[in-house]
Amino acid sequence: MKYVDEFRDGALARGLGAAIARELQTGRRYAFMEFCGGHTHAISRYGVADLLPAGVRMVHGPGCPVCVLPIGRIDQAISLALDHGTTVCTYADTLRVPASGGRSMLRARAEGADIRMVYSATDALELACREPARQVVFFAIGFETTTPPTAVVIRHAARLGLKNFSVLCCHVLTPAAITAILASPAVSAPDAVPLDGFVGPAHVSTVIGSRPYAGFAAAFRKPVVIAGFEPLDVMQAILMLVRQVNDGRAEVENQFTRAVTASGNLKAQALVSEVLVARDSFEWRGLGELPASALRLADVYADLDAELRFGLSYRPVPDHPACECGAILRGIRAPRECSLFGTVCTPENPMGSCMVSSEGACAAHYTYGRFRDFPIVAA
Ligand code: SF4
């Protein structure tokens, strides 16, 4: 296929649905987690769940960049603007993630904080170059997809010798999160749906390749199929997962061969390794503190680390007590199982991070009216 609309062909999608149904073993139920928010969005937007046979259930994972940002990190960014007088630049979705005290970065801006939306890390660097009297902080978030552009900007700022630019680095790592989900006692609890495998992320895998998934696929005996973001990509990946489960295999397969290789983008990986190193530990919303699951600036670039420059400390803050984002990000609750879903919590007034971005499970369900998804609790 050459064109995007061919990957959205209804007849082909129904054919794939029928092919999946034919492969199912009688009486067996299959549950697969789509790790990535892009897949969650595609599944909701294109009604993929409606095309799957009743025996196949999709469980949403934590792969939405703003969803996994804990409140404490948003508080740090707000503090940089309000308490330290800096100009904080970040991506649009981040501005709406709930912080503590009913705040968000947008609301802090209404209180006078200089917080700006940018399209890229480069925008933040250019602002620092244009206005040398202003301390500019780039609040860097996201998985491996957005990490290389941040690394480029840090290296460039160092070469320019900029003294008014720094980065609050909250980039997180996909393999660590999947491992944490599989190792979580909640996932193996008697009332949880046992996961049979993963639809692996698309864009992340273009950077890291397919190889990093091999370790936990083997250790936890869970197949992974990396898939593109179009509906036929996702359905083909589900068919490949069903076949692996039926064969008793737990391999890493690549459906998204038009963009993903085994090794990934080696140039980007080398750049990231030069500029950023693993943190000992990092708090994820919903998953808690995970070792070696996020990045900070390497010691040689410490001058550009906003946490060090402004002496920030980290204070964990619990979510709204009624918000089920944590359980949704661990794959043990569905959005409509939250009592706030669609009433108190909407995309216009998000109470939790999963309702903010189009990649968040709650926002995707709300936007595309997918209120009748399968219950998560095992039948
Ligand atoms: S509906 Fe809102 S409050 Fe409930 S889990 Fe989703 S984001 Fe959190």
Nearest ligand 1 atom to the CA of 362 is 6
Q: Which residue among 343, 345, 371, 376 has the greatest number of ligand 1 atoms within 8 angstroms of its CB, and so is best to mutate?
A: 345
138-182 pLDDT per residue, tens: 999 999 999 999 999 999 999 999 999 999 999 999 998 888 878
Nearest ligand 1 atom to the CA of 342 is 1
* Nearest-CA residue for atom 1 of ligand 1: 341
Q: How many helices (H) and strands (E) does the chain have?
A: 15, 13
Q: How many CB atoms lie within 10 A of CB 103?
A: 18
**Helices 37-45 and 231-247 sit at what angle, rounded to 10 degrees?**
110
Q: Yes or no: say if 164 and 136 are a contact pair by the CB < 8 Å rule.
A: yes
Q: Which residues line ligand 1 (CB under 6 A)?
A: 323-325, 328, 335, 338, 340-341, 345, 350-352, 354-355, 362
16-36 pLDDT per residue, tens: 999 999 999 999 999 999 999
What tokens appear for 370 in the block?
């997918």
Rounded (5°) CA angle 260-262-265: 65
Question: What is the C-alpha separation between 309 and 166, in angstroms, rounded?
Answer: 8
pLDDT of 45 reads 92
C-alpha to C-alpha distances, 106 to 78, 94, 102, 146, 164, nearest whole angstrom: 9, 9, 11, 22, 23
Checking if the pLDDT of 123 tops 80, the result is yes
DSSP state of 363: H
The confidence band for 39, taking pLDDT boundaries of 50, 70 and 90, is very high
SS3 sequence, 296-342? Answer: EECHHHHHHEHHHHCCCCCCCCCCCCCCCHHHHHCCCCCHHHCCCEC
What tokens appear for 278 in the block?
């693993």
What tokens appear for 192 in the block?
């949880």
Question: What is the C-alpha separation between 370 and 169, in angstroms, rounded?
Answer: 34
306-326 pLDDT per residue, tens: 999 999 999 999 988 899 998
0.95 surpassed by pTM: no
Checking if the pLDDT of 369 tops 90, the result is no
187-238 pLDDT per residue, tens: 555 555 689 999 999 999 999 999 999 998 999 999 999 999 999 999 999 9
328-342 pLDDT per residue, tens: 988 888 898 999 999
Once rounded to an integer, what is the mean pLDDT over residues 78-99? 96
